[in-house]
């Protein structure tokens, strides 16, 4: 389920940037927020008005929503009964808020973070639209000075650029751009929007990313510390800092230097929006990395035994026909000698190189994994006939047998491969059979493959 | 229409070649000599004519509320086929609305269709929607309807079918005396009852393989997956032959049973792929698949598919809390393609056996509607059931 919330946020961004009026933007916000969290009720509250709500009919009493503030976590609605509630401010300077209510379970930290992101984007969109409406008003009145008009138009343009930039960063985050690049994108984009001032992201007492612009590292870190301990935006000399979170925990801060040409409210908005963007990117990366790490071998980056067995099980369930899938079990000959004579570092490098060749020798639909030590396995799926499995096994053997250049020396190794075919077997059993076949290959002719036959079973010593 | 003391549900079916004759026969069987408060008519595209709708309406006495739509095939406990199925209900509070095609946007159409709820004051209420899967994003219609119905009143229904010809759909409507045949419309019927209505949904698809990111898309057209042309990724990952890209019919058959699923808090939101452009290497979905979304390939598990209809129907009956009088079932037309003729027959017999002797009428739809807790509204490749108590 990891990552679903940041993806929903991207969809939200795309939808809300298309809204042309305050009512449409508010309506989109309540619909999408409710749908993303399977919530029954949602509303946007602006002052004493409720420009949009869903879930309580066409004209619910506005006081049902205006009475709820950020401290509310449960509320009872007429007919629906008690519900879990989460309330998020749209804007730092007003009490405007997005309210979402759900009957079945409380909102998780990830959901609240996503909704906060949605609320912030809604706030920016509403402000932009209000500016637009104000500008239209100005044109009608004609008596205001040209300078004031220009300022408003510029503010509006900046607001639009802000939304576009946030959307671009969000898309990159979802396209698995490396985290460091996303963080640089955030600091440079924020800097670009604030007339080129310095923007820095401080994580765990170190500057993780900084836009072009001059500023002193220690001063930045001090401002970040203050924001971290206060839990909100702080002014620290000429700097303003806002905390950044990873999975709801404060992990650092986004810091900007003072801007002469941009008004305070505007600067605070940009800072808050990008701090949230950084939080989401970091949380997403953190979750994805954790999931990846739990299921992959850190040395070769191949799937580990857990993930491999899970995939084999899924494949056997999905394609139960005999021979619809095959499994290769590989063991490296001479690996121990490399480890013993050249050291573990060379051994590790050899394993990485073997993993790379293995990856290149199998098809896109196959899955290569490291089961441990110098043992690897490959799930072959789909398999139309046994000839395919033999061909791939031979390709792997040939590829692994080519010389390796490691630590300035030429090293040779070979793989012995066992092959087993699906059909009425569990995943564990299939691996076991391929292992038996590999053992037979290793015993009779190293650097070849053998296919499992039932009589191979008893030959294996009991202790293995 | 006021509620009488006794509620009832009757269903009739006719496969007669003449649409009007089939309509009258099916209606007669459904009524069994009773006076109905609402007729719900499902007719194959071949039978979706004004004469059929008028014959059904006249058979019921000529002054009765009626909603209905064209289908990709209908079914009752007597089997499935291409003709007319009439569901007749008596004893419920009922009100109906029709919104003609293109008279307003789909969001507003949903609001107007569901506004029939304003006429019903009952302890338990439901809004039955018959949409049109061919005209735009029906989720917008459901969103509109939800603003009227809110959390307390479930929305249930299906989108009209056209025998999978992609030509166009028809709706049948009467708010009393006059009968209308409306192309691509949205219809709503609100029902009220002293006992709860039961609703259920099930699909039987599951995600397979690693997720992909929709790196470029617009308006239902997916241009890129994971930064590569979407068609290439799609054919490679599904094992489809490259020639499929140049054969629209073969691609439709292949792709409709290999949908994509969008990441959602509870499971996936299914997107049916139905067309490819070999020039631009793009693929086309029945509903919008937003840029930046993460998607999986979805795979059909035959048992799960076969059992989706009985699962949805049983859940609906359970929701009634007492003995169910009858059900309406909306079953995605693509599921029949995935199951094949034998599998579809098996699914039909499992449904009949699971809820015997409760009568039901249903059709193969172009999109299924269920909006309640944990369900967003518009669905695809799904079975939705509404049970009357």
Statement to judge: residues B282 and B377 lie in one domain: no
Residues 6+ apart with CB under 8 A from B76: B11, B12, B13, B85, B359, B360, B361, B362
Residue B324 has pLDDT above 90, yes or no: yes
Contact B151 A55 (CB under 8 A): yes
How confident is the model over B201-207, as a mean pLDDT? Answer: 84
Same domain, A314 and A429: yes
- Look at residue B1 and tell me if it is in a domain: no
Name the domain boundary from A145, A171, A197: A171
Chain B residue numbers touching A103 (CB-CB < 8 A): 151, 373
Peptide bond into A241 cis (omega under 30): no
Which chain A residues touch B299 with a CB distance below 8 Å?
318
Of the residues A295, A322, A339, the one at which a domain ends = A295
Residue A238 CB contacts under 8 Å (≥ 6 apart), including other chains: A257, A258
A31/B143 Cβ within 8 A: yes
Confidence of residue A362 (pLDDT cuts 50, 70, 90): very high
Instruction: Output the pLDDT for position B191.
Output: 98
Q: Catalytic residue numbers of A?
A: 374
- Comparing CB atoms, the residue among B148, B152, B292 nearest residue A7 is B292
DSSP character at residue A80: T
- Indicate whether A66 and A87 sit together in one domain: yes
Q: B75 and B211: one domain?
A: no
pLDDT band at A462 (very low <50, low <70, confident <90, very high): very low
Domain boundary among B267, B299, B331: B299
Assign residue A342 the CATH number of its domain.
3.30.70.270
Structure tokens, A170: 């969000």
Domain count within chain A = 3
Q: The domain spanning residue A226 has which CATH number?
A: 3.30.450.40
Question: What was the pLDDT predicted at B136?
Answer: 67
The answer to whether residues A260 and A341 belong to one domain is no
Asked if residues A264 and A240 have their Cβ atoms less than 8 Å apart, the reply is no
Interface touch B151/A40, C-beta < 8 Å: yes
d(CA B366, CA B82): 16
Examine the domain organization and report whether A205 and A88 are in the same domain: no
So what's the pLDDT on residue B3? 46
Q: How many Cβ atoms are within 10 Å of B242's Cβ, its own excluded?
A: 11
Residue B275 above 60 pLDDT? yes
Question: Are residue A136 and residue A36 in the same domain, yes or no?
Answer: yes
Using the beta-carbon criterion (under 8 Å), do B291 and A14 form an inter-chain contact? Answer: yes
pLDDT at B223: 93
Question: In this structure, are B47 and B135 located in the same domain?
Answer: yes
Domain stop point among A295, A327, A343: A295
List of residues 6+ apart from A159 with CB closer than 8 A: A124, A127, A128, A131
Judge: B263–A104 Cβ closer than 8 Å, yes or no.
no
Cβ contact, residue pair A40, B208, below 8 Å = no
If asked whether residues A159 and A56 sit together in one domain, one would say yes
For residues B315 and B265, membership in a common domain is answered with no
Mark whether B77 and B157 lie in a shared domain. Answer: yes
Interface of A with B (CB under 8 A): 1, 3-5, 7-8, 10-11, 14, 31, 35-38, 40-41, 54-58, 77, 79-80, 103-104, 111, 170-171, 174-176, 314, 318, 364-365, 382
Residues B285 and B375 grouped into a single domain: no
| Percent of chain B with pLDDT strictly greater than 90 | 62
Q: Are residues A34 and A145 in the same domain?
A: yes
In a domain, A300, yes or no: no
Nearest CB among A4, A56, A79 relative to B265 is that of: A4
Residue B23's φ and ψ, nearest 5 degrees, are: -60, -50
Q: Select from B236, B264, B375 the Cβ nearest to the Cβ of A4.
A: B264
Based on the domain organization, do A213 and A319 belong to the same domain?
no
Whether residues B78 and B185 share a domain: the answer is yes
Task: Tell me the pLDDT band of A2, cut-offs 50, 70 and 90.
Answer: very low
Q: Are residues B85 and B211 in the same domain?
A: no
- B103 plus B26 within the same structural domain: yes
pLDDT of residue B216: 85
Is residue B2 situated within a structural domain? Answer: no
Closest residue in B to A35 (Cα) is: B376
How confident is the prediction for chain A on average, in pLDDT? 83
Nearest CA in chain B to A384: B239
CA–CA dist B389, B41 (Å, integer) = 20
Cβ distance A38 to B146 less than 8 Å, yes or no, reads: no
User: Strand B268-271 to strand B260-263: parallel, antiparallel, or no bridges (unpaired)?
Assistant: antiparallel
How many distinct structural domains can be found in chain B? 2
Is 70 exceeded by the pLDDT of residue B183? Answer: yes
B252, B276, B299 - which closes a domain:
B299
Does A231 map to a domain? yes
Helix axes A109-141, A146-174, angle to 10 degrees: 150
Q: Do B263 and A10 touch (CB under 8 A)?
A: no
Q: What is the pLDDT of residues B6-65, one digit of tens each?
A: 999 999 999 999 999 999 999 999 999 999 999 999 999 999 999 999 999 999 999 999
Average pLDDT, chain B: 89
Report ipTM for this prediction. 0.77
Higher pLDDT pick, B205 / B124: B124
SS3 labels along chain B: CCCCCCCEEEEEEECCCCHHHHHHHHHHHHHCCCCCCEEEEEEEHHHCCHHHHHHHHHHCCCCEEEEEEEECCEEECCEEECCEEEEEEECCEEEEEEECCCCCCHHHHHHHHHHHHHHCCCCEEEEEEEEECCCCCHHHHHHHHHHHHCCCCCEEEEEECCCCCCCCCEEEEEEECCCEEEECCEEEEEEEECCCCEEEEECCEEEEEEEEEEEEEECCEEEEECCEEHHHHHHHHHCCCHHHHHCHHHHHHHHHCCCEEEECCCCEEEECEEEEECCCCEEEECCCCCCCCEEEEEEECHHHHHHHHHHHHHHHHHHHCCCCCEEEEEEEHHHHHHHHHHHHHHHHHHHHHHHCCCCEEEEEECCEEEEECCECCEECCCEEEEEEC
Based on the fold, state whether residues A385 and A242 are members of the same structural domain.
no
Interface test with A, best of B147, B228, B298, B305 (most A CBs within 10 A): B147
Residues A335 and A428 in one domain: yes
Give the CATH number, domain containing residue B277.
Answer: 2.40.30
- Is the model's pLDDT at B258 over the cut of 90? no
Chain A residues closer than 8 Å to B143 by CB: 31, 54
Same domain, A64 and A212: no
User: Does residue A392 belong to any structural domain of this protein?
Assistant: yes
Beta-carbon contacts below 8 Å between A and B: 87
Q: What is the largest CA-CA distance in chain A?
A: 99
Assess whether pLDDT exceeds 70 at residue A52.
yes
Examine the domain organization and report whether A211 and A274 are in the same domain: yes
Domain C-terminal end among B299, B325, B356: B299
Examine residue B114 and state whether it is found in any structural domain, yes or no.
yes
Find the CB nearest B150 among A57, A171, A318: A57
Domain that residue A31 falls in: 1-171
Query: In chain A, which residues have their Cβ closer than 8 Å to the Cβ of B298?
Result: none
Same domain, B190 and B57: yes
Query: Given B152, B291, B377, which is nearest A79 (Cβ)?
Result: B152
Asked if A175's CB is within 8 angstroms of B215's CB, the reply is: yes
Contact criterion met (CB below 8 Å) for B234 and B221: no
Claim to verify: residue B382 and residue B255 sit in the same structural domain: no
Give the pLDDT score at B1: 47
* Whether B237 and B171 share a structural domain: no
Does position A346 have pLDDT exceeding 90, yes or no? no
Structural domain span for residue B173: 8-202+304-388
Of the candidates A77, A176, A364, the beta carbon closest to that of B236 is on A364
- Pick the more confident residue, A303 or B69: B69
């Amino acid at each position: 389920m990891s990552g679903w919330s940041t993806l929903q946020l991207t969809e939200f961004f795309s939808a809300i940037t298309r809204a042309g009026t305050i009512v449409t933007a508010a309506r989109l916000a309540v619909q999408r927020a409710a749908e993303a969290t399977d919530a029954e009720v949602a509303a946007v509250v602006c002052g004493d008005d409720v420009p949009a709500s869903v879930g309580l009919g066409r004209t619910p009493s506005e006081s049902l929503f205006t009475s709820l503030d950020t401290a509310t976590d449960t509320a009872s609605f007429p007919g629906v009964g008690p519900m879990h509630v989460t309330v998020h401010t749209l804007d730092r300077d007003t009490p405007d808020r997005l309210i979402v209510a759900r009957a079945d379970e409380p909102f998780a930290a990830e959901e609240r973070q996503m909704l906060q992101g949605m609320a912030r984007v809604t706030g920016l969109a509403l402000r932009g639209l209000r500016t637009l409406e104000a500008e239209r008003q100005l044109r009608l009145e004609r008596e205001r000075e040209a300078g004031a008009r220009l300022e408003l138009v510029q503010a509006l343009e900046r607001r639009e650029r802000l939304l576009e930039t946030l959307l671009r960063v969000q898309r990159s985050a979802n396209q698995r751009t490396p985290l460091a690049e996303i963080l640089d994108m955030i600091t440079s984009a924020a800097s670009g929007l604030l007339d080129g001032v310095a923007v820095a992201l401080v994580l765990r007492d170190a500057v993780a990313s900084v836009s072009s612009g001059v500023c002193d590292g220690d001063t930045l870190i001090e401002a970040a510390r203050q924001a971290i301990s206060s839990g909100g935006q702080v002014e620290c000399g000429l700097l303003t800092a806002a905390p950044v979170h990873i999975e709801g925990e404060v992990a650092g801060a986004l810091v900007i230097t003072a801007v002469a040409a941009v008004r305070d409210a505007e600067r605070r908005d940009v800072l808050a929006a990008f701090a949230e963007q950084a939080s989401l990117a970091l949380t997403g990366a953190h979750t994805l990395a954790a999931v990846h790490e739990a299921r992959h071998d850190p040395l070769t980056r191949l799937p580990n035994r857990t993930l491999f067995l899970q995939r084999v099980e899924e494949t056997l369930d999905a394609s139960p026909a005999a021979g619809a899938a095959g499994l290769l079990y590989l063991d490296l000959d001479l690996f121990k000698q490399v480890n013993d004579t050249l050291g573990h570092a060379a051994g590790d490098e050899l394993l990485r190189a073997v993993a790379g060749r293995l990856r290149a020798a199998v098809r896109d639909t196959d899955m290569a994994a490291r089961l441990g030590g110098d043992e690897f396995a490959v799930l072959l799926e789909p398999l139309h006939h046994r000839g395919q499995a033999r061909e791939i096994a031979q390709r792997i053997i040939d590829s692994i047998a080519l010389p390796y250049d490691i630590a300035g020396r030429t090293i040779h190794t070979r793989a012995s491969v066992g092959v087993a075919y699906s059909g009425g077997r569990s995943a564990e059993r299939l691996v076991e059979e391929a292992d038996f076949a590999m053992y037979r290959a290793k015993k009779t002719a190293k650097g070849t493959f053998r296919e499992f036959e039932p009589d191979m079973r008893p030959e294996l010593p009991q202790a293995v | 229409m006021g509620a009488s003391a006794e509620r009832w549900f009757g269903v009739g079916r006719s496969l007669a070649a003449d649409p009007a004759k089939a309509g009258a026969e099916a209606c007669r069987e459904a009524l069994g000599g009773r006076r109905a408060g609402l007729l719900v008519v499902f007719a194959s595209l071949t039978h979706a004519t004004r004469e059929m709708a008028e014959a059904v309406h006249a058979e019921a006495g000529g002054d009765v509320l009626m909603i209905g739509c064209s289908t990709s095939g209908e079914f009752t406990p007597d089997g499935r086929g291409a003709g007319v199925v009439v569901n007749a209900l008596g004893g419920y509070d009922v009100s109906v609305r029709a919104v003609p095609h293109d008279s307003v946007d789909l969001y507003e159409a949903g609001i107007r269709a569901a506004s029939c709820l304003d006429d019903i004051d009952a302890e338990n209420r439901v809004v039955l929607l018959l949409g049109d899967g061919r005209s735009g994003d029906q989720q917008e219609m459901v969103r509109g309807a939800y603003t009227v119905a809110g959390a307390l009143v479930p929305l249930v229904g299906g989108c009209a079918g056209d025998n999978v010809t992609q030509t166009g759909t028809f709706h049948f409507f009467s708010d009393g005396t006059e009968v209308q045949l409306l192309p691509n419309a949205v219809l709503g019927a609100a029902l009220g009852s002293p006992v709860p209505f039961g609703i259920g949904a099930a699909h039987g698809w599951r995600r397979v393989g690693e997720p992909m990111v929709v790196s470029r898309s617009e308006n239902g057209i997916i241009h890129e997956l994971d930064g590569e042309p979407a068609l290439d990724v799609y054919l490679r990952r599904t094992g489809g032959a490259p020639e499929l890209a140049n054969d629209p019919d073969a691609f439709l058959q292949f792709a409709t049973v290999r949908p994509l699923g969008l990441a959602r808090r509870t499971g996936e939101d299914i997107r049916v792929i139905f067309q490819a452009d070999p020039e631009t290497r793009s693929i086309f979905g029945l509903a919008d698949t937003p840029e930046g979304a993460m998607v999986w390939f979805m795979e059909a598990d035959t048992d799960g598919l076969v059992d989706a209809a009985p699962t949805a129907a049983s859940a609906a009956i359970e929701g009634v809390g007492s003995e169910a009088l009858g059900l309406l079932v909306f079953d995605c037309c693509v599921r029949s393609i995935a199951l094949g003729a034998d599998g579809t027959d098996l699914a039909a017999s499992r449904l009949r056996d699971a809820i015997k002797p409760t009568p039901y009428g249903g059709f193969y739809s172009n999109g299924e509607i269920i909006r309640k807790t944990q369900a967003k509204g518009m669905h695809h490749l799904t079975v939705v059931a509404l049970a009357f108590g």
